[in-house]
C-alpha cells in the first residue's frame, strides 16, 4: 500500500517491484500515474533509491520516510484521531521562526520512529478550528496523541531529547 501511495501505481506493479531480486534498471519502466509529464528515469532517481544488502534488494520511498505529512481540518479525524500508532502533531505557521527551528527535529523524529509513531504538522493559519479546539495559543506547540486522545503537549522550540522523552512514554 505504501508503494502505491508513494509512486501512484497499481497494486500489480508495486508487487512486482517489492518481490523482484533484480537490479531496478533491468525491470520494465514502472507505470507512474501521478506524474505523466516526467520521464520514469527522472522519477526513479528523484523519488526512491535502491538499497542493496546481502539478502535482497529493497526499494525505499524517500518522500514517505523524509517528510512529515501535513494534516488539515478535513483529514484530522482520519489521520490523527483514528491512528493506531501514537501521533505527534506540530502546530506551526510559515512566519514563525521557532517553528522553522524545530521542523528539522520533527523530521528526524519521523524517520527515527517510523513504524512506532506517526508525525504530522498542521498550519495554524490554514486550520484555525483545530488549533482553537485544542487550545493552541502559541506556536510551535507539539501535541502527543494515543488512541485518538490528547495525552500531552510541549510548547516552544525544545531540544530533541525533550521530544524523545515525551514520545517514548507513549510507545508500546
Catalytic residue among 61, 74, 96, 127: 96
Answer whether 67's CB lies under 8 Å from 107's CB: yes
Interatomic CA distance for residues 145 and 4, integer angstroms? 27
127 tagged catalytic: no
**Chain length of the chain:** 172
Q: Which three cell numbers stand for residue 65?
A: 520516510
Cβ atoms of 115 and 65 within 8 Å: the answer is no
CATH number attached to the domain at 67-168? 3.40.30.10
In this predicted model, what pLDDT tens digit does every residue of 25-80 receive, in sequence order?
333 334 333 333 333 333 333 333 333 333 334 444 444 444 799 999 999 999 99
114-166 tens-digit pLDDT? 999 999 999 999 999 999 999 999 999 999 999 999 999 999 999 999 999 99
Residue environment code for 17-36, b if the CB has 16+ CB neighbours within 10 A, otherwise e: beeeeeeeeeeeebebeeee
The pLDDT confidence band at residue 172, using thresholds 50, 70 and 90, is confident
pLDDT at 67: 74
Q: How far apart are CA 101 and CA 45, in angstroms?
A: 29
Q: For the chain, which residues make up each domain, given as ranges?
A: 2-64, 67-168
At 93, phi and psi to the nearest 5?
-145, 150
Residue 29 DSSP label: P
Longest Cα pair distance anywhere in the chain, in angstroms? 54
State how far the Cα of 112 lies from the Cα of 104, in Å rounded to an integer: 12
The residues with which 152 forms a beta bridge, in sequence order, are 144
Look up 96 and say whether it is catalytic: yes
pTM: 0.63
Dihedral angle sign, alpha carbons of residues 75, 127, 33, 114: negative
Query: Which position among 6, 99, 119, 127 bears the catalytic label?
Result: 99
Inform me whether the pLDDT recorded for 17 exceeds 60. no
Amino acid at each position: 500500500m505504501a508503494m502505491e501511495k508513494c509512486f501512484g501505481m497499481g497494486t500489480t506493479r508495486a508487487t512486482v517491484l517489492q518481490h523482484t531480486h533484480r537490479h531496478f534498471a533491468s525491470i520494465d519502466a514502472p507505470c507512474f500515474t501521478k506524474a505523466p509529464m516526467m520521464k520514469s528515469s527522472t522519477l526513479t532517481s528523484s523519488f526512491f533509491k535502491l538499497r542493496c544488502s546481502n539478502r535482497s534488494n529493497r526499494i525505499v520511498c524517500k518522500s514517505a520516510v523524509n517528510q512529515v505529512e501535513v494534516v488539515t481540518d478535513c483529514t484530522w479525524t482520519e489521520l490523527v484521531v483514528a491512528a493506531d500508532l501514537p501521533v505527534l502533531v506540530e502546530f506551526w505557521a510559515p512566519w514563525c521562526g521557532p517553528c522553522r527551528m524545530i521542523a528539522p527535529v520533527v523530521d528526524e523524529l519521523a524517520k527515527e520512529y517510523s513504524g512506532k509513531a506517526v508525525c504530522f504538522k498542521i498550519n495554524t493559519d490554514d486550520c484555525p478550528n483545530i488549533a482553537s479546539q485544542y487550545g493552541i495559543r502559541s506556536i510551535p506547540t507539539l501535541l502527543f496523541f494515543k488512541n485518538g486522545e490528547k495525552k500531552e503537549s510541549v510548547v516552544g522550540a525544545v531540544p530533541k531529547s525533550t521530544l524523545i522523552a515525551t514520545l517514548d512514554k507513549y510507545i508500546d
